[in-house]
Amino acid sequence: MSTRFFDWVTEPHASTQRAQSFGPHLEAFRVLLLAHLTIQACAWAIVPVPYPYTFPPSAIQSAAGLMTVLFFFGSTKGRTRLACLLATPIVAAEILWLFPSTPNHVFLTLVLVTLCGAFDLKKDRDSLLLLQALRWIAVIIFVWAGVQKALHGLYFHGEFLLWMIAQGVDRWADLFGWIISESELARITSLPRFIPGTGPYRVDSWLFVLVSNFVWIGEIALGLALLHRRTRQWAAAGAIALVFMIQAAPREFMFALLYASLLLLLFRGEPNRRLMPVFLGVYLCMLAALLGAPLPFLLKSGGGL
């Protein structure tokens, strides 16, 4: 693989001689990835997924225990690569157990932990290639997320958001219901749940339609802006804000945190390392919520992550 093809994702005049400066940035990302995998495994052990996609109880408990050990083992500098290598088969097993209802972000974690285990940060060329690969993934995910929404065509008139307000749980209405009139909100929420032919899922609110289209347009525009060095950091900041806005309704903050740490790799300096206490603090709050702490806004409607 040639580093020249991916030059746009590096800093100006980046070279293998300067690649060693990326090491702490990538080390921090590895630690945050291990933390994410640990909390996710613990969540499945505490709040099992619904039947028939249930883990063997002893297996998921073992996975949660092993991931916890690997997180503390990998938190020591120089051991993150080995920890990622050992975590890869655990994540693969979780995907197998969850299939076919495996969440998309779990597949992403498998790709990320495999890459993090494949490259040796002690080698300058490996550091550069890993940074380039992770930055490419961040861009591709964001652009494709917007493209697939446009291809499905359910955001042009707000149909998807309206369906989620009608068929989903109350938080969708809490987040987006204020944009439409009370009469339209009452009509949408009164429609039968999960019955074909119900509708129409259309409203007269131009602001609601604007917000719906802002989602897919924003994903494509910000994703493409990540390609240009002059707009990259502003686009990354906007992308992080948009991701948290999108994930606020379903409360899928696990993906938001994972993707935010990935997007932070597009910034100069070492934001992942500096913000690590914040990330770890949020992950601990999520674990506390799973164990019964009064933090319901961090959990999905079923009580999981």
Domain contains 258? yes
Q: CA separation (Å) from 8 to 24, 35, 162, 259, 286?
A: 21, 29, 39, 20, 36
Number of compact structural domains in the chain? 1
- Per the structure, the complete domain to which residue 90 belongs is given by 4-135+254-298
* pLDDT tier for residue 191 given thresholds of 50, 70 and 90: confident
**Average pLDDT of span 226-251:** 89
User: Taking 50 as the threshold, does the pLDDT of residue 5 lie above it?
Assistant: no
**What is the three-class DSSP state of 133?**
helix
**Cα distance between residue 34 and residue 109, in whole Å:** 10
* pLDDT tier for residue 198 given thresholds of 50, 70 and 90: confident
User: Taking 50 as the threshold, does the pLDDT of residue 290 lie above it?
Assistant: yes
More reliable by pLDDT, 190 or 284:
284
Domain contains 122? yes
Domain contains 244? no
Is 179 within 8 Å of 211 (Cβ atoms)? Answer: yes
Q: Which tokens in the block code for residue 297?
A: 């806004």
Domain contains 220? no
* pLDDT tier for residue 145 given thresholds of 50, 70 and 90: very high
* pLDDT tier for residue 18 given thresholds of 50, 70 and 90: low
Q: What is the pLDDT of residue 4?
A: 45
Domain contains 182? no
User: Taking the complete model, does pTM exceed 0.85, yes or no?
Assistant: yes
Exposure class string for 131-163: b at 16+ Cβ within 10 A, else e: bbbbbebbbebbbebbeebeeeebbebbbbbbb
Q: How far apart are the first and last CA of the chain?
A: 37
**Average pLDDT of span 88-116:** 89
**Cα distance between residue 22 and residue 248, in whole Å:** 31
User: Taking 90 as the threshold, does the pLDDT of residue 23 lie above it?
Assistant: no
Domain contains 234? no
Tokens 């002893």 -> residue:
58
Domain contains 28? yes
Domain contains 217? no
More reliable by pLDDT, 136 or 177:
136
Q: What is the pLDDT of residue 116?
A: 94
More reliable by pLDDT, 61 or 240:
240
* pLDDT tier for residue 3 given thresholds of 50, 70 and 90: very low
Query: Residue 66 burial by CB count (10 A; 0-12/13-18/19+): exposed, middle or buried?
Result: middle
